Structure 1
């Protein structure tokens, strides 16, 4: 094996040869043999091998293998030097191989090495994006789990940093094509990351692009199959996919397939759903997703049938008034619970779909069913008014830090929920029912109101006292049902589902 002096001498031969460097194959071979030496020899070889690599195509394999040996050396300083120089080997047909090697090196636990690998990958990405993607996706599809995981995360975090001249339309098409192959077998976390990757591509941010992504998610959700509410993997797959699809929906990209599936397959099984995560209110999570999607539902083939299913489910959460005994007291032992969080979701979904069949309540229901609904609606509305007054009183005068306590945060959201329900119920009390009001779901950010634009409902989070109603006859206080306090759901936050857990690779099999 060569000594340090011999390595320097042969380096000098190659450096002085200028245009004729390729004629000194023996000198380059001496440098390649430097990988068999000690620490000093290896460090020199790590620097000298890539410097003259392009002049000896017949020794390309030997040179790459020699550098790869150095990338796996026990000495961390040698590894780092070898990794730093790897992009110099990324020429022509060698680039995919270098990309493949660098992708494998992502498994390192040394933070400095990991950063060097990331920088090297970005460097060759700018040389040849397609070739680099070939190496990355090769390891994602066939590599070890740790390599696969880190390669996917590399794509999800680094692609967005690349300039437009690198991420051309052809490159984005390749990413989509290769991603579809990977999506045939992914974990829940991997699916979320790939949706992040794909939704960030310029070519998929158009209406047609978002539609393509929705179809991709629908395929992953397996909406053609019968829903199994007792299978946590089946439930999880639907929730994960739906949550990825929701941001893609708009007035031009419809949610019809998902809404139809929820109405036909999920709502009838709502009470028997198996939660994939301990502590998650799975029924509320499903209803929140349905509510978010309902705003963008297009023409539905079985609209009346699905509206009826939604209507029936709404009735389950809008109880009848308790029967009164002869003394005027409630005959039952317990007052019905008013589950405001559930009702907000169901009422909003019914309100959105009802716009497409405005005569549903008046022409599609028999008189007895309609009367029953009006009784439930009125009873719920009375209890609602009591809650709204209690919540406003509790929040009156509170601003700033006072509103940031956990208790007051819950009350603020509860006030949003009850006000939303109040607005929607008023629409349904119209004769005929109206579907004109617009509300912002309680867990969604409030949209700013332009000057001169009429508010759909008053601001309920300021803590200022409500405006007084015009003078007029008051209702008999004895007719107002005062439900027991604390019945609204405290689980009111927007649950970020994809970040809570990870499934096995057999995600939806």
Structure 2
């Protein structure tokens, strides 16, 4: 196929159609036309893997619509029934893909994201929250709302004016605003208290490493230290994303100010090699992670040529 040849180029001249055709292969592997079954762990894992592998291609203009619409219509309604160990993977991939959603998809997905946010953000201070879920959802919320800010008027009670009928400024959504702000405040209070406890505990890690008697003990302590560092990043992200949302007309984060806690923290590349680094990272990522997709698709096409009934 012609688009395969473009993968070896991957420059600015690579046609957008090539990336879209590659996305369609991944969509077929994700089985987006099938009814979502929460008991089908294989389908859940395939969906998660496929959207993750598609991320570099979304950055080149390929559409993420089918994945995001599937999440909103098929996955969110049964989210409670999904095994706990799979929920975070789903939320992480949706969060990572949210910067590439177009306005139309953002409007369709935002109600589902707000629904999940209300589930995982307490209305008052509690002992703990699932900070990973909240971080993912707030990040997704910001990036989607940045594309279609007035959609949040009816969902969260904001008063964002765009001059469009969809602003719905004549309707009273004050209860939505009150509820959303209470949840933001409760989440912030919970996170600040948890962050304080974690900071106090992190001060003891270096002492524990120094006093460890075996390498096995040191390895375990270092792993716990790394986990605590990641948790602290998550807490900081939650506070950074929740605080701008208190106003009646908030400014949503739609850039790269926030780096999700589990992602590699950004470093400034050398100016002379930055473009090449991105170029080769994207190329290697897709060549390695999508190789089996291309092989499987080629085999399927060959089988159909040999036997049209396949």
Please say whether Structure 1 and Structure 2 have the same fold, judged by a TM-score greater than 0.5. yes
How far apart in 2 are the matches of 1:428 and 1:230?
Answer: 36
**Alpha carbons 2:135, 2:237 under 8 Å: kept:** yes
Q: 1:395 to 1:251 in 2, by over 3 A?
A: farther
In the alignment, does 2:126 pair up with 1:340? no
Cα deviation, 1:13-42, whole Å, max 9, x if unaligned, reads xxxxxxxxxxxxxxxxxxxxxxxxxxxxxx
Select which of 351, 361, 370 maps to 2:142: 351
Normalising by structure 1, we get a TM-score of 0.43
CA distance, structure 1, for counterparts of residue 120 and residue 20 of structure 2: 34
Q: Which runs of 5+ in 2 are unaligned?
A: 158-172, 211-217, 271-288, 290-295, 297-310
- In the other structure, the counterpart of 2:8 is 202
Distance 1:239 1:417 in 2: 21
- CA 174–308 in structure 1, closer or farther in 2 if over 3 Å, else same: closer
8 Å contact 1:361–1:370 — kept in the other structure? no
- Paired with 2:244 and 2:10, the residues of 1 have a C-alpha distance of 38
2:81 to 260, 272, 290: 272
RMSD across aligned C-alpha pairs, in angstroms?
3.2
Structure of higher RCO (CA pairs closer than 8 Å, 6+ residues apart): 2
How far off is 1:428 after superposition? 1.0
Q: How does 1:275-354 map to 2 (within 5 A)?
A: 281-301=85-105, 303-321=106-124, 335=126, 337-354=128-145
Match of 1:385 in 2: 192
> How many Å apart are 1:175 and its aligned residue?
9.8
| Structure 1 unaligned blocks of 5 or more | 1-172, 177-197, 275-279, 323-334, 452-497, 499-504
Are the counterparts in 2 of residues 294 and 353 from structure 1 also a CA contact under 8 Å?
Answer: yes
Structure 2: how far apart are the matches of 1:442 and 1:265?
27
Deviation at 1:384, TM superposition (A): 1.1
Query: CA distance change for structure 1 residues 207 and 351 in 2, over 3 Å: closer, same or farther?
Result: farther
Q: Is 1:432 equivalent to 2:249 in the alignment?
A: yes
Aligned partner of 1:409 in structure 2 is: 226
Q: Secondary structure at the match of 1:355?
A: helix
Change (3 A) 1:397 1:231: closer
Q: 1:203: Cα distance to partner?
A: 4.5
Take 1:289 and 1:337, find their aligned partners in 2: how far apart are those partners?
24
Q: Which has the higher helix share?
A: 2
Deviations 1:347-377 (A, max 9, x none): 1111110111213333554211221111111
Alignment partners' CA distance in 2, 1:443 and 1:284? 12
CA distance, structure 2, for counterparts of residue 219 and residue 204 of structure 1: 22
Answer yes or no: is 1:220 the counterpart of 2:29.
yes
Task: Provide Cα deviations, 1:388-426, integer angstroms capped at 9, x if missing partner.
Answer: 233333335977x78971111111000110011111001
Counterpart-to-counterpart distance in 2, 1:449 and 1:394: 31
**The residue matched to 1:432 in structure 2 has which SS?**
coil
Question: Is 2:177 the partner of 1:370?
Answer: yes
Larger radius of gyration: 1
Instruction: Tell me which residue corresponds to 1:464.
Output: none
**Aligned partner (choices 441, 448, 473) of residue 260 of structure 2:** 441
Secondary structure of 1:300's match?
A: helix
* d(CA) in 2 for partners of 1:250, 1:234: 25
Return the offset for 1:340: 0.3
Query: Following the alignment from structure 1 to structure 2, what is the Cα–Cα distance between the partners of residues 413 and 240?
Result: 22
Distance in 2 (CA, whole Å) between partners of 1:251 and 1:390 is 42
